[in-house]
Structure 1
Amino acid sequence: MKAIIIGAGMGGLTAAIALRQIGIDTEVYERISENKPVGAAISVWSNGVKCLNYLGLEEQTAALGGIVQTMSYLDGHTGDTMCRFSMQPLIDEVGQRPYPIARGELQLMLMEAYGVHRINFGMQMVSVADGAGAATATFADGTTASADFIIGADGASSITREYVLGAPVTRRYAGYVNFNGLVQIDEAIGPATEWTTYVGDGQRVSVMPVAGGRFYFFFDVVLPEGVPYERGSAREVLREHFDGWAPGVQVLIDSLDPMATNRVEILDLDPFYTWVKGRVALLGDAAHNTTPDIGQGGCSAMEDAVALQWALRDHPDDVHAALTAYQDARTDRAADLVLKARKRCDVTHAKDPAQTAQWYRELRDEDGTNIIRGIVGNIMGGPVTPAP
């Protein structure tokens, strides 16, 4: 059996590795010509880590991951600690430490695990079609490729999704812009082994450790969609929006590299439950584009990859049955995570200011129990972390 995978992102590559594990011939096509990931880093929660471990990448993943021993929330204006608690209860409950990982390094690790030389770069798919005995992808250079099935892991603006659903869909602006990047660890910003988050005014500033003595940082700024931005002006923009915030936030702004700081308008997509059309199926952001507010976008794509492998393992001679089983295994779980992230997004970014003010008050009384319960609820429910 042969599979074509469109997209060499985290979802596409984990799917390619997973399918190869069970003897399926794979071809991966990627529209960009080199590895240039969007975003500085990713929170790989325990369910994502377990997926990578399952794919034989345990040592490589651990080597790239930052060690988060504690989590804290700080008052954005004063810098006062609202709560601080150990992550060990979460690790004990789910059986795996989560890892923040630099996105480019994770991407490269997956490429090397699959085989960089085996990825067809610079191949932009322009259309996909199902057939009686094969599915076919057509690329911008006029070439085509056919296989027993095609997996569209072609991201938030997926062409494959348009084919599967029969029409384009419109993503929803979540109400904020995320600035992110990497800086050297500086304990004037936050402890070296802590996920530190400053909150106030419906905005947040966060740092967490990744390998190599670095913090992954992000700033959430509540802004209208489409506000003009000049690349390289991140420091000035952030100074304006976080004027008067705590000293640690000012140190972070002073430390960042403006030209290496990413600016991303955050969007998501209403959940939908049709991921398959004939021999063509969706995976990752193409199937469940979510906000990053619970850190499950990439993890959910990794879960897709494992579930796809299991469906094909269980239906080795029937592509249609396998893809239907994959869809049935994943749509409810992925939709739940999209909606949980949207709900968390709205509270964090003051869609209802009274509700956000109440959350701030609750943080001051938090011992970690409620926050960890919520994170565990996100982690459990996938193929390698079944719900109790």
Structure 2
Amino acid sequence: MQKKRIAIIGAGVAGMALALLASKQGHEVQVYERAAAHRVMGAGVTLWPNAMFVLAQMGLASDIIRAGGTPKFVCQYDRSGNKQNALDIDELNRLSGHATVTILRRDLIQILGDALSAQGVSIAFATTVTEQDIDKLRQTYDLVVGADGRMHSVVREALFTSPVSPCYQGFINVIGISQLEPGILPNRIGDFRYPGERFGIVAVKQDMCYWAGAWRTPFDKSCNQRDWLGELKQRFGGWAEAVQSVLRHADPGSVRPIFVHDLDPLPYWHKDNMVLIGDAAHASLPTSGQGACQALEDAWLLSCLMSQQHDLSVVLGRFYQLRIEKVTMAQVAGRQLAQQLFSGRREESTAPSGVSLAQLSQIWMQGLSV
């Protein structure tokens, strides 16, 4: 395998995962991050079996499991707490051959960052890469990777002659972390729904959870000073006791609003020796449940292809061909569920309509093999 010099722009899940996998193959890797320290965009993440497959290949599965939780069910409730149906995560895991793990995003980032440090890969924090810098990096490195997020990817701007604008999908997620009272949603993910509104609670440990309250609203850039926790308590007052408990015990410093954007599928992710991965390439809505999972798949497949083929043009073309169908499916699924949730219509399924657990396992494990 020909060793390459790789510059990765962005130290999120996709960027750090690729840096770790590529450095283990012997490539020379430098990561650039505009923030002064690791950023935590989001409260937590559910790592479905496809993500845990990748983390197992990275040698991190046991660390992730120790830091997170292993839910047994996703349960859907109405706003009063009456259970509507459930998805058996244990059975999905058995069919897939890997666990499902819920983890605080800060802990996932910490594990990836520690693994990178142990591998001797440095992250140049507080380093803003401009479009002009991209040209210099392309001359210095064999490969420049844009893992710099959905909203303001400088590599994506350099890749396309016309601006690619993320799409606001008409709803807000207000997220946070809470202490979890005993007996509240043990070993399960709680999905509370009412037409036009949703409150999701994801247990991580017996005494900890992350959550999101969501509703349809116009985009408002000037709203950051609002009392979001107070607004949540008012909007979701009278909902199930689990929701009330979580809001009572919320860490105020963890509460933040996200006006949710995604990307339309892109016609390509690469040009010459530049390539996009993760949210910069195919940001999906949180309703897809696959954002971090697909970012990890990107990193794994790109590193695999580089180990098998010297010609980067072949690698990058093949990477897009192998990934575009699956990530587009996640994007479409996320939009469809969001439309069902926030249009005021009722939706009674926790999985895509008519999809069995076996089919769901096949969908998410598609394209993954050692």
The answer, yes or no, to whether TM exceeds 0.5 is yes
Secondary structure of 2:286's aligned partner = coil
Residue equivalent to 1:141: none
Superposed displacement of residue 240, structure 1: 2.6
Residue equivalent to 2:180: 185
Q: Does 1:336 align with 2:326?
A: no
Secondary structure of 2:315's aligned partner = helix
Superposed displacement of residue 374, structure 1: 6.8
Change over 3 Å in CA distance of 1:61–1:259 after alignment to 2: closer
Residue equivalent to 2:126: 122
Q: Percent identity among equivalent residues?
A: 25
Q: Gaps (5+ residues) in structure 2?
A: none
Residue equivalent to 2:365: 380
Residue equivalent to 2:312: 319
Superposed displacement of residue 294, structure 1: 2.1
Match of 1:276 among 248, 267, 270: 270
1:1-388 superposed matches below 5 A: 1-76=4-79, 78-115=80-117, 118-127=122-131, 136-137=136-137, 146-156=140-150, 157-187=152-182, 190-211=184-205, 213-226=207-220, 228-231=222-225, 233-316=227-310, 318-350=311-343, 353=344, 356-357=345-346, 359-360=347-348, 370=355, 372=357, 375-376=360-361, 378-384=363-369
CA distance in 2, matches of 1:26, 1:227: 36
Two-structure CA RMSD over aligned residues (Å): 2.4
Secondary structure of 1:273's aligned partner = coil
- Using the size of structure 1 for normalisation, the TM-score is 0.87
The number of equivalent residue pairs is 363
Superposed displacement of residue 43, structure 1: 1.1
User: Are the aligned partners of 1:231 and 1:259 in contact in 2 as well (CA < 8 Å)?
Assistant: no
Deviations 1:339-376 (A, max 9, x none): 111112111222xx3xx32x24x67xx9x985746743
CA distance in 1, matches of 2:64, 2:96: 17
Superposed displacement of residue 232, structure 1: 6.5
CA distance in 2, matches of 1:384, 1:288: 22
Equivalent residue letter for 1:121: F
Secondary structure of 1:27's aligned partner = strand
Superposed displacement of residue 25, structure 1: 0.9
Deviations 1:79-104 (A, max 9, x none): 21222453221111111111111101
Change over 3 Å in CA distance of 1:299–1:215 after alignment to 2: same
CA distance in 1, matches of 2:13, 2:339: 27
Q: Gaps (5+ residues) in structure 1?
A: 139-144
CA distance in 2, matches of 1:166, 1:269: 17
CA distance in 2, matches of 1:173, 1:373: 33
- Using the size of structure 2 for normalisation, the TM-score is 0.91
